[in-house]
Amino acid sequence: MCSLNAEPLSDASRAAEISVDSLAKFTPTRILSESTSTGSIYILGTLHDSPAIVHIQKTVLESAKAGDVLRGLEKIDLFLENQPYFSSHAWIRPTPDRAPDLQIKIICPATETHIKKYSEQERFIVCETPEIYRDVVLGYINGFDESRLGWVYAILDGRKEAERILYRKEGDEEGFVILPDLKWDQTSMNALYLTVLVQTRSIKSLRDLTRSHIPLLNSIKEAVYDTAKQKYGVGAGKLRLFVHYQPSYYHFHVHVVHIQSEAFAGMLVGQAHMLDDLITLLELSPPDGPSLLAQKTYTYPLGVEHGLFEGMKAAGAILD
């Protein structure tokens, strides 16, 4: 069973459920969103009687093996010919040892929040002053369902994804882990995507950062550089380290993405804040009292389905 109310499953039984046979029983309800350029598509449906979100995406080609693909084609269908330009669809010949054609991610059971998050929706620019943060956002963050952070705590406690941890620094205040993000299948280095989760639960968002966190942020930076170099051969000059505001999860984390990676919504100006900029603003902050990050007005896009939207609208933070 993959049900919201069911007893939690052991890892083994849950893993056993996501199989070729079980996916064949997925009943699609509607498309939540899709990208025609990347071939990424989010489908809402039912799996084992539970709402489920299935994300299907073509896997990224490993650049060193891209040429091999042309030697393994089964069929080619030329639909545009305008010399010197040609466009075609191609089918890859199945060979036992070839890389998978698809990457499929599943959220099951999917909550209303998940469904809203992945649904195409109208967005508006929001101007979040420190007063609006205090009156609207803080209450939203404090009321955030702790269970949504279950995956974070499971990683930090070593109960989940333990074998995927690339680096761990111990310590309640200065500790953190580095691991591949859910979105990265570790195939293409140009699509490298790592996540850094801090051990402390006291930093909900970048507004909570103070000068006292500068050593933590610097040690995250250093460890990311070392880890990416050692594990993947990717140098510091190829990495974009940034933090979301608003994030989806209010437990401080840093995104690490290869600069060759195609821009996606979470990388857009407004939502993404370079880690180095945050460190600089903390260094420029007064020694006592709220940091510049706490005092700053943030301007960012917010979807109408976001849990903050109505409160922001009522507070006059949405620009017409």
- State the residues that interact with ligand G7M by CB under 6 A: 151, 161, 179, 181-183, 195, 244, 247-249, 255, 266
Judged by beta carbon, residue 266 or residue 307, the one nearer ligand G7M is 266
Least gap, CB of 87 to ligand G7M (angstroms) = 33
What does the alpha-carbon distance between residue 7 and residue 4 come to, in Å, rounded to a whole number? 9
Shortest distance, CB of residue 88 to ligand G7M, whole angstroms? 33
Distance of CA 49 to the CA centre of its chain: 27
Nearer to ligand G7M, 41 or 69 (CB): 41
Which position among 114, 253, 273, 306 bears the catalytic label? 253
CA distances to 81, 130, 193 from 183, rounded to whole Å, are 36, 32, 7
Smallest separation, CB 180 to ligand G7M (Å): 6
> Is 140 annotated as ligand-binding?
no
Q: Is 251 annotated as a binding residue?
A: yes
20 marked ligand binding residue? no
CA distance 6 to 111: 14
250 is in an annotated binding site: yes
Q: Which is nearer to ligand G7M, 76 or 182 (CB)?
A: 182
208 is in an annotated binding site: no
| Rounded least distance, CB 318 to ligand G7M, Å | 20
DSSP one-letter string for 222-252: HHHHHHHHHHH---GGGEEEEEESS-SSSS-
Contact 106, 18 (CB under 8 A): yes
Residue 285 contacts residue 207 (beta carbons within 8 Å): no
Closest CA to 317 of 150, 136, 128: 128
For the CB of residue 159, give the shortest distance to ligand G7M in the complex, in Å.
Answer: 12
User: Based on CB atoms, which residue is closest to ligand G7M, 105 or 313?
Assistant: 105
Catalytic residue list contains 253: yes
Instruction: Give the number of other CB atoms < 10 A from CB of residue 209.
Output: 23
Annotated ligand binding at 26? The verdict is no
- Sole residue written with tokens 């309640």: 172
Question: Is 239 exposed, middle or buried (CB count within 10 Å of its CB: 0-12, 13-18, 19+)?
Answer: buried
CB-nearer residue toward ligand G7M: 140 or 249: 249
> What residues are designated binding site?
151, 161, 181, 183, 244-255
> What residues are designated binding site for substrate?
151, 161, 181, 183, 244-255
Catalytic residues: 253
